[in-house]
């Protein structure tokens, strides 16, 4: 079994991350927190609606994501087919906005008490979302 993490934007653009190719990614929580931190550090607004997904793909332990020249391999195509198959749910999924809010508050984004349905009733969370989706203007 192989873990694969996916960044999926609202316009169905997907970026695949193979944690075994990155020593800093020990688990999905590290991936979520790291991507939330990176997104906040860039300070770009608006931040598009994005989901962070965790898939476990069977029988692919030795598969390469890309060839040395950067071309996609059949395994990467296989991952994309799984993502596009709406009948293949992810092991875990978290909206990027939730991950960013949890990062800013210093709370675990994968903890049950921080699930999306619970966060949306929090006015502080809703204020953060308004900031994430607003256009930032440079002050003179």
Give tens-digit pLDDT for 77-116: 777 777 777 667 789 999 999 999 999 999 999 999 999 9
Cα gap 45→3, rounded to integer Å: 30
**Global pTM exceeds 0.85:** no
Is residue 104 within 8 A of residue 40, CB to CB? The reply is yes
Is residue 119 within 8 A of residue 125, CB to CB? The reply is yes
Task: Say how many domains are in the chain.
Answer: 1
Burial code of 31-60, b = ≥16 C-beta within 10 A, e = fewer? bbbbbbeebbeeeeeebeebbbbbbebeee
DSSP lists the bridge partners of residue 16 as: 6
Angle at 18 between CA 115 and CA 44, to 5 degrees: 60
CA dihedral 44, 23, 10, 135 (to 10 degrees): -10
Is residue 103 within 8 A of residue 36, CB to CB? The reply is yes
DSSP class of 20: G
pLDDT at 72: 64
Is the confidence at residue 12, as pLDDT, over 80? Answer: no
Residue with tokens 């069977």: 58
- The percent of residues in the chain predicted with pLDDT above 90, rounded, is 45
pLDDT at 70: 66
| Structural domain range at position 123 | 2-139
Cα gap 73→21, rounded to integer Å: 15
Question: Given pLDDT bands bounded at 50, 70 and 90, which one contains residue 3?
Answer: confident
- Helix, strand, or coil (residue 2): strand
Is residue 114 within 8 A of residue 108, CB to CB? The reply is yes
């Amino acid at each position: 079994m192989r873990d694969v993490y996916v960044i999926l934007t609202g316009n169905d653009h997907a970026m695949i991350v193979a944690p075994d190719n990155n020593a800093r990614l020990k688990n999905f929580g590290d991936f979520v927190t790291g991507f939330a931190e990176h997104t906040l550090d860039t300070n770009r607004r608006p931040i598009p609606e994005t989901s962070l997904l965790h898939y476990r793909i069977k029988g692919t332990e030795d598969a390469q994501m890309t060839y040395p020249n950067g071309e996609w391999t059949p395994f990467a195509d296989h991952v994309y087919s799984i993502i596009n198959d709406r009948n293949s749910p992810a092991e875990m999924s978290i909206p990027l906005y939730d991950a960013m809010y949890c990062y800013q508050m210093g709370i675990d984004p994968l903890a049950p008490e921080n699930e999306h349905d619970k966060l949306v009733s929090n006015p502080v969370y809703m204020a953060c979302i308004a900031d994430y989706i607003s256009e930032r203007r440079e002050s003179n």
